[in-house]
């Protein structure tokens, strides 16, 4: 590829040194942007030093400026503390959404725009932004398997107006090919893991056992209130979990509810996992709309299929009624709504 004539726009890329963010830098430079890269320091450990070195190698290869922004205090307060406190309260957190809201499009966004004078920021997210009549909307990326709209519902119109996603029209094979053909240092890098501050071989369960104090409590059968056994700490369980419950019963049992205050884990049959509706707090649409009642597609967690539903919006509360019951509605997760015609993201909120 030949570098196009400069378009006089400065783009700041959130660069982790991995495949997606590296190719993002490469593509923007090819498109004529004045590209700078920012690596956010999330955790003060040896793992970050490797991330910073990987990112620096990419920046040097592409001959673009590279900045390291220490956000470890913000990350501790907004992500790690939130993560641990959610489990303390019997909820299952979603740190990626909170990181996008408070870190990437929080401090990093502000640094890029206000300190570096960037016109736009860019990331390696798989999503597409369309601007029409002064309104910005998020649409699915070409690679539907990687689509990340769910994690971006908290972004504001101001943030979307100054964000670009260069990978929106590519699939993963395209991105690997671009990295290989242009000998980017990240060409052989592996997929990043979901929870960036819990590194293998550490698991979420082991991490929580180190951070929280487990107290024995009761397993209670949801439909009868009968005690079935003793658990080793409610925060080790999540809604819909079957494996690891370890209770003998006439049919398979799943975690149906967690009462953190009384240290109870409720169990029930698969049928008891299903709900016909869910109420969502702190709901907001991603763009201005007067619609308070609409047909939508909904997700109550990232790795699920879209479910047809009807939503009634009352201020910052929304009631989502599903056409068919859905399993494992989980407190602490996000419910995100999409347009059933073209798939754009309408808005979302948090399940209480």
In the chain, what is the straight-line distance between the N-terminal and C-terminal CA atoms, in Å? 50
The answer to whether residue 89 is catalytic is no
CA dihedral (343, 344, 346, 350) positive or negative: positive
* Pairing outcome for strands 10-14 and 307-314: unpaired
Measured distance CA(40)–CA(44) in Å, rounded:
11
Residue 188's closest CA among 197, 196, 198, 180? 180
Handedness of CA 122, 184, 63, 45 (dihedral sign): positive
From 25, 89, 96, 196, active-site residue: 196
CA gap 58, 185 in Å, rounded: 6
Phi, psi of 7 (to 5 degrees): -95, 10
Annotated catalytic residue 196: yes
* Matching residue, tokens 């910073």: 52
**DSSP string of 158-213, one letter each residue:** HHHHTEE-TTTT--HHHHHHHHHHTT-TTTTPPPPPSSTTS-TT--HHHHHHHHS-
Up-side HSE of residue 203: CA atoms within 13 Å toward CB? 4
288 Cβ contact list (under 8 Å, min separation 6): 135, 157
Q: Are 342 and 324 in contact (CB under 8 A)?
A: no
- Please identify which of the residues 25, 89, 96, 99 carries the catalytic annotation: 99
Alpha-carbon distances, residue 107 vs 62, 75, 81 (angstroms): 25, 10, 17
Contact between 241 and 257 (Cβ < 8 Å): no
Q: Could you write out the three-class secondary structure of 105-121? A: HHHHHHHHHHHCCCCEE
Looking at the annotation, which residues are catalytic? Answer: 99, 196
């Amino acid at each position: 590829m030949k570098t196009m004539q400069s378009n006089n726009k400065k783009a700041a890329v959130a660069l982790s040194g991995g495949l997606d963010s590296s190719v993002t830098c490469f593509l923007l430079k090819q498109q004529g942007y004045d590209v700078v890269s920012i690596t956010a320091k999330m955790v003060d450990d040896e793992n970050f030093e490797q991330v910073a070195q990987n990112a620096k190698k990419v920046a040097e290869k592409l001959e673009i400026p590279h900045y390291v922004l220490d956000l470890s205090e913000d990350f501790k307060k907004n992500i790690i503390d939130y993560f641990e406190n959610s489990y303390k309260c019997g909820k299952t957190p979603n740190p990626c959404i909170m990181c996008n809201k408070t870190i990437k499009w929080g401090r990093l966004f502000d640094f890029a725009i206000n300190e570096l004078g960037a016109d736009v920021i860019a990331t390696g997210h798989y999503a597409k932004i369309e601007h029409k009549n002064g309104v910005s909307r998020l649409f699915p990326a070409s690679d539907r398997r990687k689509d990340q709209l769910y994690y971006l519902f908290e972004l504001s119109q101001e943030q979307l107006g100054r964000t670009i996603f260069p990978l929106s029209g590519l699939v993963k094979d395209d991105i690997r090919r671009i990295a290989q053909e242009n000998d980017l240092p990240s060409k052989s890098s592996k997929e990043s893991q979901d929870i960036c501050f819990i590194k293998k071989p550490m698991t979420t369960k082991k991490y929580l056992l180190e951070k929280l104090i487990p107290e024995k409590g009761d397993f209670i059968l949801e439909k009868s209130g009968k005690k079935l056994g003793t658990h080793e700490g409610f925060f080790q369980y999540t809604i819909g979990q079957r494996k690891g419950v370890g209770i003998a019963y006439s049919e398979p049992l799943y975690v149906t509810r967690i009462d953190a205050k009384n240290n109870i884990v409720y169990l029930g049959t698969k049928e008891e996992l299903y709900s016909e509706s869910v109420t969502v707090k702190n709901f907001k649409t991603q763009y201005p709309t007067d619609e308070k009642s609409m047909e939508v597609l909904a997700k109550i967690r990232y790795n699920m299929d879209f479910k047809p539903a009807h939503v009634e919006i009352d201020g910052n509360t929304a009631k989502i009624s599903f056409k068919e019951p859905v399993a494992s509605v989980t407190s602490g997760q996000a419910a995100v709504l999409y347009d059933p015609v073209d798939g754009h993201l309408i808005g979302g909120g948090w399940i209480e």
